[in-house]
Structure 1
């Protein structure tokens, strides 16, 4: 514990509005500011509400005695962290996601001055095992927890919408007691898990669709590299890729790094350079052979890339030889 740090299980009246009925409380105050932890703990899960009131920039070093798999929600604030065995990450404002935190290691969380609000739900291995069959990507977290692996892990995080925020508020402001409260909280936990899984599954499908589109874009780029001498148009290529024209142009540039038109013209000009250096065919025939329908447009594109016309390039090339 740092010097001048005081710990209590009572919440000072100044922070009474943050009090959660029936929760186990730890209030810590020091030169850096204060933070408040309030927990509900059952054998299957634990809910923890975290409030930080930071007076000056500081590093805190959260640890856990047992390996923890938690759904962590940042309601207010951005918190840069270093998770042992994983590396740097940011607990982002209004986002939530799953984390594996190794036991008995010192993680690092940086707090700039300000107020922060967050909530976590940690799960026992028995609870976690209930849904890994339907969501196998969580099997890695379960295995890490079982084996007490010393490397942290993070699954994708998603925005906290009004729907998720409503669930979190129902958890926080439950006015029940005893077993009814436990059952109510468990129902809200399931609601939050369902929300996370739904977003996660949709994101997986979007990623699959994007991967398929990327594959088709690369396939089309390969087709261009073998057939640039043909009278190809960007519109025809978009149809071949099964995308509308604007989507095709956007995705092609995103995947390949340049527009389909520029990609095709650079391939054509590269072959034109070879023909100008190695043959004596006319400039017009060079243009036609590499796929340009208009020799004047060919000359314009060539000059833009090489700063000389095709005729000047040939003359310079002959002079060098």
Structure 2
């Protein structure tokens, strides 16, 4: 029996257009504006959507999907406006397939990517698919205000962020710190409806996530590709270089480093500790704290900002780690140095 394939044409939505479609394009039994949920049922699919408008230029939504038959979402470019769509597939029993121009690649669980509204692509959802996808719809105004766009002007992100590129940018391996931030966003979306919605907390989580994603992508693409040297000592040198270059990000996790550099976690732990007399995490944390101490001593940058510069997700975590290493809080250390 020939497989049935459904082609579903759609277009990139701006934040305003997304809200307009959701609020006015569905019957009351499908859309509940109080809980910001949408349930869509067809002959071959079920989709449930939970969304939150954080500002006029940023919207977060989570999609739970089941498909009995294959569907191709044919997404057309939108020349009006300047916005981006961030996708994270965190559950998938089968790989999806993404087509864009001459590119064709599988999207498995853990996929993380961003594209602008200026490109066309086809997203193939196979029959029997069950999965969940977190998406963030961001207007350029949000990135300009919160993510310091100019710092990416001379990087591999310049085409997407400044030249209306149709590229889809992805990260090959998902480090633990990014996964934790993504999981936090999902949990905030699904707080009980009788719980007050903490919009500021979610905005902070989105900003932190985007800064880390863009920063990590730049380091992966702009000369931080290891080339997989053959001997373990060369690999360790490349790992140290990678950690040195990413002090502004949280520690990526042993699993990420092992996969990225093509060795096992046990081999990484054993040889790194033998060569450097400290674990990779300990080495990274020592470097971070040395840089934090230098900034506290030589600059007047606020302590909270220093913590964020060092990749910490809160001032409290930064203070706790600094005090553990130096037996004094950042505040008292700075006072003693003045």
TM-score (norm 1): 0.50
Larger radius of gyration: 1
Match of 1:127 in 2: 142
Q: Deviations over 1:46-82 (max 9, x none)?
A: 1121111112233233456555412210011221022
State the distance in 2 between where 1:156 and 1:37 align.
25
Pick the aligned partner of 2:105 from 79, 89, 107: 89
Match of 2:128 in 1: 113
State the distance in 2 between where 1:76 and 1:108 align.
16
Q: Secondary structure at the match of 2:226?
A: helix
State the distance in 1 between where 2:171 and 2:61 align.
21
State the distance in 2 between where 1:93 and 1:33 align.
20
TM-score (norm 2): 0.48
Gaps of 5+ in 1: 13-18, 218-237, 248-321
- 1:49 and 1:120 in contact (8 A); partners too: yes
- 2:86 and 2:136 in contact (8 A); partners too: yes
- 1:96 and 1:160 in contact (8 A); partners too: no
**Aligned CA distance change for structure 1 residues 202 and 10 (closer, same or farther; 3 Å):** farther
How far apart are residue 204 of structure 1 and its match? 5.0
State the distance in 2 between where 1:135 and 1:112 align.
40
- Number of equivalences: 204
- 1:50 and 1:118 in contact (8 A); partners too: yes
**Aligned CA distance change for structure 1 residues 192 and 88 (closer, same or farther; 3 Å):** same
Match of 1:55 in 2: 68
- 1:7 and 1:29 in contact (8 A); partners too: no
Match of 1:141 in 2: 160
How far apart are residue 153 of structure 1 and its match? 3.1
Greater share of helix residues, 1 or 2?
1
**Aligned CA distance change for structure 1 residues 102 and 90 (closer, same or farther; 3 Å):** farther
- 1:97 and 1:158 in contact (8 A); partners too: no
Q: Secondary structure at the match of 2:150?
A: coil
State the distance in 1 between where 2:198 and 2:117 align.
27
Measured on the aligned residues, the alpha-carbon RMSD in Å equals 4.2
Q: Secondary structure at the match of 2:115?
A: strand
**Mapping for residues 1-321 of structure 1, pairs under 5 Å:** 8=27, 10=29, 22-23=35-36, 25-41=37-53, 42-63=55-76, 65=78, 68-77=83-92, 78-83=95-100, 85=101, 87-102=103-118, 107-129=122-144, 130-136=147-153, 137=155, 138-145=157-164, 151-159=166-174, 161=176, 162-175=179-192, 181-197=198-214, 199-200=216-217, 203-204=220-221, 207-208=223-224, 210=226, 243=234
**Aligned CA distance change for structure 1 residues 164 and 181 (closer, same or farther; 3 Å):** closer
- 1:59 and 1:109 in contact (8 A); partners too: yes
**Aligned CA distance change for structure 1 residues 203 and 152 (closer, same or farther; 3 Å):** closer
- 1:20 and 1:172 in contact (8 A); partners too: no
State the distance in 2 between where 1:198 and 1:132 align.
11
